[in-house]
Chains A and B, each alone.
Chain A
Amino acid sequence: MNKVDLSVSIGTLQLRNPIMLASGTVGYGNEMAEFIDLNTIGAIVTKSLSLKPRKGNPPQRIVETPAGMLNSIGLANVGVEEFIKTKIPFLQKYDVPIVCNVAASNIDEYAECVNLLTDENSIKAFEINVSCPNVKEGGLQFGNDLAAVGKVTAKVRAATKKPIIIKLSPNVSYIADFAKVVKQEGGDAVSAINTLVGTSFNIFTRKPKIFSVTGGLSGPAIKPVALAKVLEIKRNVEIPIIGIGGIMNWQDVVEFMIAGASAVQIGTLNFINPSAAKEILSSLEDFCIKQNLNKLSELTGSFLI
């Protein structure tokens, strides 16, 4: 029995605690289960699923950078059908909400994916990744196009009754506008942030270190950016926010919640310390006791500026 109420709600999604594991950094849960009791986690967000399986980009897919890493996995995933057949049965053994992250190359495909998945009981919400490249609409990344984000939100809203979380790209100048559109079109929450575009060169060969030239920057290097984006959304739009970006310990979680996050996602840290979520949770509880907080969610948006 917890001494402190760690539970949070994100729209209609109820979580036993605010610690979620970020898309692309938990696989489909089975490897992580060797390190951590999945039943103790707030939620698991699956690797972005696309309608058809994707092989992903050739190597090199990963480069370490100062206080971060660049990745260009290319949305390698098993596809919706295989996910339902082989990955859901494993996850169903646990009492942990599954948030299905969906990626697509056009608006209809997002809705189609959600449609195929929405009847699965263990899936408690959808996180829509609008930051992927190779999009038909005007050749733009969805995440940079307000109208496209609005359309995607409306279409997936129509495809499911379950909560919809739109995962926003930080590679925009004013992120609150995107959160506003999500709210207008019926989205339940936003995740902020996905990775920042970055690159790295080998100074001897003069070639990019990553096959696809640029990749997504994650890790401690992006934490201040992520915090600023969460704060910007919190100050301008009334919508639940899931904070993501460079969380490495419980103090970072508290900081994100103060800036406005209702829940958070742990990403890159899972690679370095796969049992980090467990350690963070027990420290959060201690923090609440010491701070006389009965409910962790009281922290959300409690900044004093």
Chain B
Amino acid sequence: MFTVNAPVKELIELDHKIFLQKIYCPEIASIVQPGQFLNVKVSNSYYPLLRRPFSVCDVEGDYIYLMFNILGEGTKLLAAKKINEPVDILGPLGNGFTSEGDYNTAVIVGGGLGAAPFPFLIKRLTDKKEVMTFIGGRSIHDVITYGMKNLFTSTDDGTTGFKGNVVALLKHKISELKKSKIKIPLKEFSLENDFDCEVSTECAMACGFGICQGCPIESTNHKDKYLLVCKDGPVFNIKDVEL
């Protein structure tokens, strides 16, 4: 975990205002794990004041990728970075997904920008595991396909894929999945079916590395204290946290 000034190398616009930012950052590219995140200072001044957390979306050699859409001032400034302009990055932060283990199919489920960490995760998994990916969005333009593998999609408005949310799509498919040992990130399914399941969580953050106590998440095992999303997570075994 350290801070680096890393130059932006490319800004790729995926469908409808979803951006991929390619950043030259060998220090982080060489150690980051899928599911870990970075806390990014989006401006050179103290406006906006706090860093913004982003998952590492992909790694290619010495380059890392972030994926985001423009929500507010922070993401607007990030997208406006010029080529070769440095971004101040603190990371890698938190704990990522465990890709090892005694299973043969990884089932990956996400909605909207929740899909951001998956291209990197899928890359790491594909040598050893089968991967199935379920991605949902409000409409066709919100469905992220970048870096996905063996993809099933759903939209609320039915403009592409299954009509309904991604959980409904998954339920639809569940009978086929039951035949194999799988990894599936949804609490009710995982508990009902005794699947080993990890979930990536989000919370408002100030520091991103455990000093501000700003990012609590209820623990299943210890009712007397919270876990911290930034330090104990953001990826948790679903059995350990109350969602």
Contact pick for A59, options B48, B90, B204, B231, CB 8 Å? B204
Chain B residue at smallest Cβ distance from A73: B213
Q: Are A63 and B204 in contact (CB under 8 A)?
A: yes
Rounded to whole angstroms, the CA-CA distance of A76 and B49 in the bound complex is 23
B70 proximal to A (CB < 8 A): no
B61 to chain A, nearest CB (A): 26
Q: Are B211 and A62 in contact (CB under 8 A)?
A: no
Task: Count B interface residues, CB 8 Å.
Answer: 31
Rounded to whole angstroms, the CA-CA distance of A57 and B41 in the bound complex is 27
B77 proximal to A (CB < 8 A): no
Residues on B with C-beta less than 8 A from A17 are none
Q: Are A61 and B49 in contact (CB under 8 A)?
A: no
Binary per-residue interface labels of chain B (212-224) against chain A in the complex, 1 for a CB within 8 Å, 0 otherwise? 1111111000001
Residues on B with C-beta less than 8 A from A69 are 49-50, 206
A53 proximal to B (CB < 8 A): yes
B201 to chain A, nearest CB (A): 11
Residues on A with C-beta less than 8 A from B226 are 55-56, 76
A143 proximal to B (CB < 8 A): no
Interface centre among B3, B207, B217 (most CB of A within 10 A): B207
Q: Are B211 and A25 in contact (CB under 8 A)?
A: yes
Decide if the interface of chain A is mainly helix, strand, loop or mixed. Answer: loop
Binary per-residue interface labels of chain A (267-281) against chain B in the complex, 1 for a CB within 8 Å, 0 otherwise? 010111111000000
How many A-B contacts are there with CB distance less than 8 Å? 98
Q: Are B204 and A67 in contact (CB under 8 A)?
A: no
Rounded to whole angstroms, the CA-CA distance of A5 and B41 in the bound complex is 34
A74 to chain B, nearest CB (A): 9
B100 to chain A, nearest CB (A): 26
Chain B residue at smallest Cβ distance from A72: B214
A24 proximal to B (CB < 8 A): yes
Q: Are B216 and A61 in contact (CB under 8 A)?
A: yes
Q: Are A71 and B3 in contact (CB under 8 A)?
A: no
A47 proximal to B (CB < 8 A): yes
Q: Are B46 and A61 in contact (CB under 8 A)?
A: no
Residues on A with C-beta less than 8 A from B208 are 271
Chain B residue at smallest Cβ distance from A269: B46
Can you list 25 A-B pairs, Cβ within 8 angstroms, ordered by A? A25-B211, A27-B210, A27-B211, A27-B213, A34-B1, A34-B2, A53-B225, A55-B224, A55-B226, A59-B204, A59-B217, A60-B203, A61-B213, A62-B204, A62-B205, A64-B50, A67-B47, A67-B49, A69-B50, A76-B225, A220-B46, A268-B206, A270-B211, A271-B50, A271-B206
Smallest CB-CB A-B distances: 4 pairs: A62-B214, A271-B207, A27-B211, A271-B206
Given contacts A268-B49, A275-B3, 10 further A-B contacts (CB under 8 A): A25-B211, A31-B210, A31-B231, A53-B225, A56-B213, A61-B204, A62-B206, A69-B49, A270-B211, A274-B211
